[in-house]
Amino acid sequence: MKNLLVGLVQQSCSADRKVNIEKSTEGIREAVARGAQLIVLQELHCGPYFCQSEDTACFDQAEPIPGPATEHFGALARELGVVIVTSLFERRAPGLYHNTAVVLEADGTIAGTYRKMHIPDDPAFYEKFYFTPGDLGFEPILTSVGKLGVLVCWDQWYPEAARLMALAGAELLIYPTAIGWDPNDTAAEKQRQLDAWLTIQRSHAVANGIPLVSVNRVGFEADPSGAGAGLDFWGNSFVAGAQGEFLAKGSSGKEAVLVVEIDRQRSETVRRIWPFLRDRRIDAYQDLLKRYRD
């Protein structure tokens, strides 16, 4: 079983779709030039993070799948012979939209899609206004580089999502992400948030004995409504191994292309010494299906 070289493209985004797509494209080409076989892009990389406010005009940014973005990145995947994980604002039908990850196979075809299951509704993250919760479940996507457990951003806080992907045979957890600080937060609060974000995702790698890739955007984006302070996206895209160890990590303030080698055999080795899946008490977990144990 050969090792896998994964490329991560951490970029800033603006209202200029063409420029954003060019940045993603250049990042993909750079990663491939450095040997990457799988490229992961950040959440909603074709445009700004528009969910800071509620504006029906933003629905005009959505596109069908297949559509312009999948055509562009599919052609790029075919040209370069690599698998690409994209993240798009999907227009499924009039008035029905999803936050959707699309995995493009090395021949340019769509290997599979994942619609974001957990949808936040918090200050500066008003996603419930825009996105219908996913209905495709937690199913890994089979590709020429392995079974990919693709999830999206807010999903990264939920151990259930990672576990279900692992139980379905995912060999790698992947999280396209858009998360940032309120500029008014204190330095201490910012550090707590970042530490929590890194810790929870690394814990998914540990608990499931599989590597994890998380790609976040970077740069300040103003609230288009003017009501909020904007978001300072904190970058820190990273890859963790099967014991949660950092294999690579980007910075908080710079665009970056990371290429990381993942040992495919390590999950087997780690699961033999930390057999969490073997020791799960599946006979005693019924209450996990309840909202709360009153």
Read off the amino acid at residue 163.
R
Q: What is the per-residue pLDDT across 262-286, written as a single tens digit (0 to 9) for each? A: 999 999 999 999 999 999 999 999 9
- pLDDT 10s digits, 46-68: 999 999 999 999 999 999 999 99
Model confidence band, residue 119 (pLDDT cutoffs 50, 70, 90): very high
Q: What is the pLDDT of residue 2?
A: 84
Does 43 participate in catalysis according to the annotation? yes
Alpha carbon 155 to its chain centroid, in Å, reads 9
Q: Point out the catalytic residue in the list 13, 46, 58, 153.
A: 153
The pLDDT value recorded for residue 150 is: 98
Which pLDDT value is given to residue 58?
A: 97
Enumerate the H helices of the chain as residue ranges. 17-33, 68-80, 159-167, 187-208, 266-273, 276-279
Q: Which of 43, 90, 105, 127 is catalytic?
A: 43
pLDDT (0 to 100) of residue 207: 98
Task: Output the pTM of the full model.
Answer: 0.97
- What's the rounded Cα separation, in Å, for the pair 43 and 53? 17
Q: What is the mean pLDDT of residues 186-205?
A: 98
pLDDT at 288: 95
- State the amino acid at position 157 in one-letter form: W
Q: Residue 280 has what pLDDT?
A: 97
CA dist 89 → 53, 190, 289 (Å): 16, 28, 30
Q: Which residue has the tokens 């699309």?
A: 102
Q: Which of 13, 116, 127, 221 is catalytic?
A: 116
pLDDT at 273: 97
Q: Can you spell out the DSSP letters for 33-90?
A: HTT-SEEEEPTTTTS--GGGS--GGGGGG-B-SSSHHHHHHHHHHHHHT-EEEEEEEE
Dihedrals phi, psi of 98, to nearest 5 degrees: -135, 160
Q: Would you list the domain boundaries of the chain?
A: 4-289
Q: At CA 161, angle to CA 95 and CA 47, rounded to 5?
A: 45
Q: CATH assignment of 4-289, given 3.60.110.10, 3.40.50.1970, 3.30.505.10, 3.30.300.30?
A: 3.60.110.10
Q: Please give the Cα distance from 119 to 133 (Å, whole number).
A: 6
CA–CA distances in Å: residue 31 to residues 14, 234, 236, 288: 22, 21, 17, 41
- Is the pLDDT score of 129 beyond 80? yes
The mean predicted confidence, pLDDT, of the chain is 97
pLDDT mean over 108-121: 98
The confidence band for 158, taking pLDDT boundaries of 50, 70 and 90, is very high
Residues 97-122: b if buried by 16+ CB within 10 A, e if exposed? bbbbbbbbbbebebbbbbbbbbbbee
Q: Mean pLDDT over residues 251-267, rounded?
A: 96
Provide the pLDDT for residue 1. Answer: 62
119 SS3 class: coil
Q: Is the pLDDT confidence value at 169 over 90?
A: yes
**116 a catalytic residue:** yes
